[in-house]
Amino acid sequence: MSYQINIAPSSTFALYRLPNAKDHFFVQQKDGGYSDLSSASFEKEGFAFHPFQITTDCPAIFIKSDRRIPNAVVSFQSNHRTKVVESDKWNYLQQAEEFIHATKTNFKKIILSRIKTIDIQAGNLFFLFEELKKAHPSAFVYLVNVTGVGCWIGATPEQLFSQNGVAETMALAGTQRDLGLPLDNVVWGEKEIEEHAIVERYFQSILKDQKIDFSKSLPHTIRAGNVLHLCTNFQFQPIQQLYQLIEKFHPSPAVCGMPKKTAKQFIQANEPHNRAYYCGFLGPVNVNNKTDLFVNLRCMQVLENRFALYIGGGILSDSNPEKEWQETEMKAKTLSDVIEKVYLAEQFAV
């Protein structure tokens, strides 16, 4: 049985589907609001929505699961009006040069992101959520709206943390176009291999510092929409202090850089936009004693009359600005192709 729910634009809620799952879930607090995400949140059942950097405008959010409905059919439109700074190609290439120069002197790796806007007035976002589910069966697909904060939707391939009998995290970095080859036959260049290795060493170092015994897979190729990534999986025994470990993981070099603290400061000083919830993390917490958190990639902010797609890539000292631009364009198609399909569909025809 499916529940039909009409949701006001001012409502706070989360709608999500886990990777490779059949069912999706609607989550809402009984007071229609949210709480601050904290270590105490991980003793309750709910949904976490954490920004790249906590600010007054972008708090760390926890939506208690007072109302949790499977396979709800919702009707919701965003009416948020927020200024976003879109990077054209010339400005992006200039920024890429600056970031590459910084890696030659200060960083092993740093992430440069940009915003691409699509001027379409969003209709019922449930149609887009459903299409993202079909297009990305192995991704975490979500739609989140928070009163006074914003509306976001996406399909992310990267898991930050999972705990259900066993605890897991992953190092995901390096990108190339999916040419349809068998995954075992995909060849990676030195730049992508090193980009991934930096992230892998980062997670390994944290687990060792926390004296957590772990096992890990060999680096392997995974599909994420129209692109491929290198991935290494880590497994370890469940832990009690979840939030403390997650705070050490976030943000990883895959979305920030190395060294992390100075890379984060450089990003905030030099990117022309606020990342907000892009490169943050989100997901269900303590649902049936299981927590699944994902890095907020392949995502977009939904405004009243347009979509703002957030996309980025890893910059190393040997990066090529033009190739980095093309990588962001390729990643943007993960979302823009689905937007185009939905908004040219019959239900939106005049």
Domain containing 228: what range?
4-348
Three-state SS at 315: strand
Three-class secondary structure of residue 15 per DSSP: strand
| CATH number of the domain that residue 247 is part of | 3.60.120.10
CA-CA distances (angstroms) from residue 30 to 10, 22, 36, 228, 288? 14, 26, 15, 40, 19
For β-strands 73-75 and 4-6, DSSP reports them as parallel
Distance of alpha carbon 238 from alpha carbon 236, whole angstroms = 7
350 residues of the chain, pLDDT tens digit each: 567 889 988 899 999 999 999 999 999 999 989 999 999 999 999 999 999 999 999 999 999 999 999 999 999 999 998 889 999 999 999 999 999 999 999 999 999 999 999 998 888 999 999 999 999 999 999 999 999 999 999 999 999 999 998 999 999 998 999 999 999 999 999 999 999 999 999 999 999 999 999 999 999 999 987 889 999 999 999 888 889 999 999 999 999 999 999 999 999 999 999 999 999 999 999 999 899 999 999 999 999 889 999 999 999 999 999 999 999 999 999 899 999 999 876 444 44
Give dist(CA 92, CA 164) in Å, integer.
Answer: 41
DSSP result, 104-149: HHT-SEEEEEEEEEE------HHHHHHHHHHH-TTSEEEEEEETTT
Choose among 84, 49, 59, 112: nearest CA to 280.
49
d(CA 287, CA 290): 5
Tally of domains in the chain: 1
Which residues partner with 110 through β-bridges? 257, 315
pLDDT at position 225: 78
Report the Cα–Cα distance between both ends of the chain, in Å, rounded.
31
Going by C-alpha positions, the residue among 191, 229, 188, 201 that lies closest to residue 317 is 191
Closest by Cα among 281, 301, 288, 310 to 62? 281
Phi, psi dihedral angles at 256 (to 5 degrees): -130, -80
Helix axes 89-105, 321-343, angle to 10 degrees: 130
d(CA 19, CA 139): 5
pLDDT of residue 2: 62
